[in-house]
Structure 1
Amino acid sequence: MSAIDIDKISKIDKADMLKSLVDFPDQCVEAIRIGKDASISYKASDFNNVIFAGLGGSAIGAEVFCCLFRDELKVPALVSREYTLPQFVDDKTLLIIASYSGNTEETLSSYDMGLKKGAKMVCISSNGKVEELARKDNFPFVRIPAGLPPRCALGYSFFPLLGIFAQMGFIKDKSSDADETIKLLRKLRDEKLAPQVTDKDNLAKPIAATISGGLAAIYSASEHMGAVAVRWRGQIAENSKHLASHHLLPEMNHNEIVGWENPKAILKKITAVFLKDKDDHIRVKHRMEITEKLITPHAKDIVVLESTGESALARTFSLIYTGDWVSFYLSILNGVDPTPVERIGFLKGELAKIK
């Protein structure tokens, strides 16, 4: 019997993270509708830059967006995970305020700064202070459903952006790509990822087993897949309560590759995971192959995972969804409930004491 069978899952996964994973394609369908129904009067021609202000699970959707559409967006777009905004923010800045809870203190600080600088804002949250401020200051507000850990709401943090930015004219309509993505996610879930899929056919369980007992180093190309590596690292940390790192190529080849020499005993506990896509730059593809050869003698193991799907959107989410399942199965192997994030709660409590 598998070390990750449904009985073991039910004993450990007390808050039912499994349901969030299984329901994720349906979440994406609802999120697409939310984006299409949003009423945004801004036009892309009104802006010189776009900034997404958010943290953690609320920021990753924006990071995926920036990576996916870096070749389509005609103005600079970046994700700000800070209390403050860049100095260049002004009335030609589109500021997307993203906070799942609506109460993230860094994001609220960015809202205040954006307001003072005259930025035009679109606010996205489930409720909280963000909604209150958006209503008061008459900025467009997009409500997403509450009740999930922010990292489980990636569909809600990403897919509404497709409709919102298409409305404004920043990107083309992505309906067909989104439809393909939903179909692919359901197929992956049912045939490659869910607990009932046998170990032999399951894509995520063996990767989790390989990482178990050691560390994970996640690598991808920086151009379009950089956010995917960030997501993998974050999910392994929060869901699995397990340390992981990530780095992006080609930059990784200019520093971190040299570090794969010492300490030798630790290196033998590291699984290097390479996330690949058919649209990776040809030179990056060569770099990944050579990097694999350099790392293999030193690592515990090497995992190579290729994206699947036709559109860039589908391929991106094929890797993201697989990584989410890997982190879930790793939590079961670690014997920890994937949902609670007690250290984050403790940190917020301590910060609340400091005025």
Structure 2
Amino acid sequence: MILDDIEAQKKVDASQTYESIVSYSEQCQHAFDDTASIEIPDSYRSFNKILMTGMGGSGLGARIIESLYGLQIRCPIIHMHDYDLPAWVDQETLCIFSAFSGTTEEPVENARQAIKRNCKWMAVGAGGTIIDLAIEHNVPYYKIVPTYNPSKQPRLAVGYSVIGQLRLVAATGILSLDSSEIMKINKAMRRIIDTSKREIPFDKNPAKQMAQSLCTKQVTFVAGRHLVGATHAIKNQMNENAKSMATLHEIPELNHHLMEGLAYPTSNSETLMYVFVNSLLYPERIQKRFEITKDIIEKNHVRNLVDLLTIT
């Protein structure tokens, strides 16, 4: 079985995807340390909305941050993945443009439009045009040094992306992020990695067991509230790393349309796999909807279900 054959895995994974994934906690700590000296102009402490942009892997941080902090921060957080800034983006908008390569055309165009509108903006990337523009216009930026992302793939720089952008936002005073929180994050990630790393055999490894369950299915992830962004990142990893079809639906929204589409095609019962990303921290109404949704799916003869329960 290749899931227990480390040498075979290394041959398939020549780009070091695995090494980047097991280094997520180091990425978080590295980003936290590297952003400690970033200075934010006083003018950046006054804004009434936040726009975060980025494409593909470079946009994962924005989605995770919006899901985690959307109900806590006193102003709207909006993520966008397109060329043109909306008309509402103005001098009272804090913009963060992310491009790991620094050359992705959509966020670079976003930055150029922000410059024309005299917006408050910041940049995140490992170099390239987006960082050059930030330096030229003397705006705050976080230049990623991807020591703990040996694959050099944007989608595998999640730790850098999330913590780097959070630190930029925190520097404005709208939220706090201290070293104790990073320690908690790193401890939680290390615990998961230690139980799922490739040295752990299949019969004791939940990640390998799930991989076998999902590998021949079209996967639909189901998540809610604070875990939507993180689940989108998982879906992205399946698309780009595993080269597999995967989609994401949110509760409660999916209850208002998806249930009607379970009957056809009739092959659904064989080809679909639902992965429920549940949480004890969801509001009671959301938790109840998870249970009801699972029941409805099973009654439609789609019995391929995986229920992930987390306290986070």
Aligned 1:108-123 pairs, distance under 5 A: 108-123=108-123
Q: CA deviation at 1:176?
A: 1.9
Q: Closer, same or farther in 2 for the Cα pair 1:241/1:205, shift >3 Å?
A: same
CA contact (8 A) 1:59 1:98 kept: yes
1:138 Cα shift?
1.3
1:229-244 correspondence runs (5 A)? 229-244=231-246
SS in structure 2 of the partner of residue 33 of structure 1: helix
- Offset from partner CA, 1:118-147 (integer Å, 9 cap, x none): 111111111000111111111112110146
Q: Secondary structure at the match of 1:288?
A: helix
Unaligned runs of 5+ in 2: none
Query: What is the 5 A alignment of 1:196-207?
Result: 196-207=199-210
Secondary structure of 2:226's counterpart equals coil
The separation in 2 between residues aligned to 1:226 and 1:207, in whole angstroms, is 20
Amino acid across the alignment from 2:287:
K
Q: Counterpart in 2 of 1:288?
A: 290
For 2:240 and 2:119, the matched residues in 1 are separated by 33
Alignment RMSD: 1.6
Structure 1, unmatched stretches of 5+, are 309-314, 316-355
Matches within 5 A, 1:303-314: 303-308=306-311
One-letter code aligned to 1:8: A
Q: What is the correspondence of 1:44-59 to structure 2 with a 5 Å cutoff?
A: 45-59=45-59
The aligned counterpart of 1:247 is 249
CA distance in 1, matches of 2:42, 2:73: 16
- Aligned mate of 1:193, from 185, 191, 196: 196
In structure 1, the partner of 2:78 is 78
**Contact 1:36–1:164 (CA under 8 A) maintained in structure 2:** no
Distance 2:38 2:278 in 1: 34
The range that moved more, 133-142 or 1-10, is: 1-10
The count of corresponding residues between Structure 1 and Structure 2 is 307
Tell me: CA distance 1:106–1:212, structure 2 relative to 1, closer, same or farther (3 Å): same
Cα distance, 1:42 vs structure 2: 4.0
Give the match for residue 344 of structure 1: none
CA distance in 2, matches of 1:304, 1:74: 33
Question: Secondary structure of the equivalent of 1:64?
Answer: helix
User: How far 1:2 moved relative to its partner?
Assistant: 6.1
Q: Which residue of 2 aligns with 1:161?
A: 165
Q: What one-letter code is carried by the residue in structure 2 that aligns with 1:155? A: G
List aligned pairs for 1:63-212, cutoff 5 A.
63-146=63-146, 148-190=152-194, 192-212=195-215
Measured after TM superposition, the shift of residue 249 of structure 1 is 0.5
Residue aligned with 1:280, SS: coil
Query: Could you tell which deviates more after superposition, 19-28 or 85-94?
Result: 19-28
Residue 157 of structure 2 aligns to which amino acid in structure 1? A
2:102–2:125 Cα contact (<8 Å) kept: yes
Q: 1:336 — aligned with what? A: none
CA contact (8 A) 1:50 1:77 kept: yes
The 5 Å alignment of 1:6-21 reads 6-21=6-21
**Structure 2 contact 28–186 (Cα < 8 Å) conserved:** yes
Shift of residue 44, structure 1, vs aligned partner: 6.2
For 2:18 and 2:210, locate their aligned partners in 1 and report how far apart those are by CA, in whole Å. 17
Q: Describe the superposition over 1:164-194 as per-residue Cα deviations: whole angstroms up to 9, x where unpaired.
A: 222211112343222111011112111x210
Q: Percent identity?
A: 27
1:215-252 Cα offsets, whole Å, 9 max, x none, are 1000001x211112211211100000011111000000
